[in-house]
Amino acid sequence: MARPRRAACASRRGIEVRAPPALGEGAAGRRFAAGGPDAAVVPAYGRILPKPILDAPRLGCLNIHASLPPRWRGAPPIQRATMAGDAETGLTIMQREDRKSPRPHSS
């Protein structure tokens, strides 16, 4: 499977990118927590983050979504906004919490 372009771009800039198939109580979750992250940025992960992952970064986990909720929540927000003829769209950054729907942090 080819690496997403955004992951390759981040790696070229020295930013570590991890995209394990599963997180939580397993080895990937333990490695994540053991790294002592200050923060985590989660763009388009597509899964609910387990509590151990949400609790690991001291500043929390931020979810980046390419939309202005609530109009185009879910996938694929950019394509749906374009097909609907929306004059504008945007990027929303949300603080992840221990629930399915994060609260908006900044739009």
Which candidate, 58, 51, 86, places its Cα nearest to that of 71?
86
What predicted TM-score, i.e. pTM, was given to this entire model?
A: 0.62
Quick: pLDDT tens for 47-60. 777 888 888 899 98
Quick: pLDDT tens for 2-36. 777 888 898 899 988 877 777 766 788 888 888 89
Check if the beta carbon of residue 20 is closer than 8 Å to that of residue 27: no
